[in-house]
Amino acid sequence: MTPPEAISLVQNAVTLTLLLSAPVLLVAMVVGLLISLFQAITQIQEMTLTFVPKIVAVMATLLFLASWMITKLVDYTHELIVNLPTIIR
C-alpha cells in the first residue's frame, strides 16, 4: 500500500465519522442552546435541566437516522472488503 492510498483510506474513514456524528452533535448543540436560553430568560439555574431534553433529543435523532447511518456504514465496509485485495498488495 502506498502512502497516498493509506491517506485516502484514513481520509474516507474520518469523513464518514464526521458525516455520521454531525447530525447528532448538531441536535445536541441546538437543544443545549435552547435550554440555556430558556434558563437565562427564566433565571432557572437548575444544572440537571439540560440533561434530560438533550438525551431525549439525541435518542430521537439516533432513532430517526439509524437506518441511514447503518446504510452508510455497511456501504463503507462493503467497499473496504471489496477493495481489500488491492489494499494489501
For 39-85, how does the pLDDT look when each residue is reduced to its tens digit (9 = 90+)? 889 888 887 888 899 999 999 999 999 999 999 999 999 999 999 99
Q: Residue 23: is it exposed, middle or buried by C-beta count within 10 angstroms (0-12/13-18/19+)?
A: middle
pTM, full prediction: 0.81
Q: How far is CA 67 from the centre of its chain?
A: 13
Write down the pLDDT at residue 87: 83
Q: What percent of the chain is modeled with pLDDT above 90? A: 71
Residue 11 pLDDT more than 80? Answer: yes
Instruction: Determine the structural domain holding residue 67 and report its residue range.
Output: 3-88
- Average pLDDT value over all residues in the chain: 92
Q: Which pLDDT does position 86 carry in this prediction?
A: 87
Q: How many CB atoms lie within 10 A of CB 7?
A: 10
Rounded Cα distance, 69 and 46, in Å: 34
Total domains, the chain: 1
- Alpha-carbon distance 17 to 11, whole Å? 10
CA distances from 88 to 5, 51, 67, 81, 84 (A): 11, 46, 31, 11, 6
